[in-house]
Amino acid sequence: MPNESSATLLKTVRRKLQISQKRLAEQFNASQSQVSRWEAGEDLPPNVLEWVKTNADNLNEVPGEGSPGTTSLLYSYPVATFRRLWDESPKRMKHLHVQAVVKPSTTNPGFADAKMILTIQGLQVPRKDSLYLDCLGVLPKLSHIIHDTNEYLGFKESETSALKIVRWDAKRAKVKEFTEVHDLIGPHALGYEISKVDEADEIVIEIDADRGVRLKGIDAIGAPVYADCVVASLSVGVTFAGLRPDTLPKAEVYLLRRTLVESRPLDLAGDLDHHVVEGQEDKHLEYAFEKLLYPKAGYGYCIAWDTLKLVDKVGPSKK
């Protein structure tokens, strides 16, 4: 009787390991047509069956399972669902950590500058393929500008963010910024790709965001999770230097929007039921949440607050 489950598993393992039928046939001294028959349901030879079981066990390990970290009731995938997504996704990463320092702006007193360091661990991308990522700051406000006798829509660069990659580090992977994004969208938008990926590599990307957040109103720093790259866990930390949030920062989640709006939550409802740790060192305040497991795609996960004040003008944060 054909062993359908073994045949399906063979096909899944072969594709995940990016092994062609021809290469697999050579490995087991068989013909390519034999491999096709195995994947169609013909009984697998004992040595092939053992190879399938061994590799399937390795592929089915869910990163983060059994390790420290917590899940969100609403915004984490159930383990069984995440296991399937992890197995089926050609692009995936084990952990994403965002660490940011926010300090008063040097160019506009209504804004704060931010330095963000992204650390990516266990990234897997098919050979000859890339992972495309982006980062958004404060959206520019368009207004009518009159120059000589001409009138046109424009914005003041000092009233919007300016983002750029200032450093990246990896043993094998390559990071490339698409500078044309600034011309097509604006200085507040950053687009880049990661290529030549090695799963064992740790990739560190440092981003300078001049006027990255505004002082008045709700703002946030975090990371999006897109459907084309499964993320096993993520952590976010924000340190305020020379500034204090007027309200206690919260772990927040917001729906990613395919429109020209800002990448931040609309309120501080505390929808992401994740504990935020508060720390203090050298008069700097840090707020962070560690290892949110299996975050759902289509959302941004962040530390958010309402209004920042200069240290010499602020009292205790409102709890």
Q: Decide if 177 is inside a domain.
A: yes
- According to the model, what pLDDT value does residue 152 have? 65
Same domain membership, residue 240 and residue 91: yes
Is 47 a member of any domain? yes
Q: Is the same domain home to 185 and 253?
A: yes
246 DSSP β-pair partners? none
DSSP secondary structure, 86-146, as one string: HHH-SSEESEEEEEEEEEE-SS-TTEEEEEEEEEEES-B--TT-EEEEEEE-PPPPPEEEE
What is the predicted pLDDT for the residue at 39?
85
Q: Which domain holds residue 216?
A: 79-313
- CATH number for the domain including 301? 2.60.40
Same domain, 136 and 237: yes
**pLDDT of the residue at 80:** 82
48 plus 88 within the same structural domain: no
Quick check: is 133 in a domain?
Answer: yes
Same domain, 283 and 224: yes
Same domain, 160 and 246: yes
Domain membership of residue 71 (yes or no) is: no
Q: Parallel, antiparallel, or unpaired: how do β-strands 143-147 and 202-214 relate?
A: unpaired
In 3D space, the residue among 235, 234, 245, 236 whose CA is nearest the CA of residue 285 turns out to be 245
- For residues 286 and 265, give the distance between their C-alpha atoms in angstroms, rounded to a whole number: 20
- Flag residues of the chain having pLDDT under 50: 1-4, 314-317, 319
What is residue 120's predicted lDDT score, i.e. its pLDDT? 98
CATH code at position 43: 1.10.260
Q: Provide the domain count of the chain.
A: 2
Beta strands in 228-297 (DSSP E): 230-231, 233-240, 243-245, 250-255, 277-281, 284-293
Residues 40 and 151 both lie in one domain: no
Based on the fold, state whether residues 109 and 241 are members of the same structural domain. yes
On whether both 261 and 170 belong to a single domain, the answer is yes
Please give the pLDDT value at position 1.
Answer: 34
